[in-house]
Amino acid sequence: MESEPLSMSLAPEVLKPALHTKIERMTETQLRILHRVLLQIEMEELAEKIGKDFDRDHEESKLRRIPELVQQFRAENPY
């Protein structure tokens, strides 16, 4: 039987203060690394969402309307 990591079993109300304490103790370098890790997580989540949305739009044939929508946008927003 596999056990989940300790951090995964902690409730958010326990985990958040523990993380805040760790963050307060971090050096500037550690903070920069943590920031990059968090940005990477956000990018991966957004990429997954965009991929799912793109697949849904493709299935609904919405992508065929792109030329029409570009033409409409250009007509409404002359350069």
* pLDDT tens track for 43-66: 999 999 999 999 998 898 888 888
**pLDDT of amino acid 45:** 97
The Cα–Cα gap between 3 and 21 comes to 25
How many helices (H) and strands (E) are present in the chain, helices listed first? 4, 0
The Cα–Cα gap between 16 and 1 comes to 28
Amino acid, res. 57: D
Contacts with 28 (C-beta within 8 Å, 6 or more apart), sequence order: none
For residue 53, the SS3 value is helix
What's the average model confidence in pLDDT over 28-56? 97
- Residue 77 pLDDT > 60: yes
pTM attached to this predicted model: 0.62
Residue 1 binned pLDDT confidence (cut-offs 50, 70, 90): very low
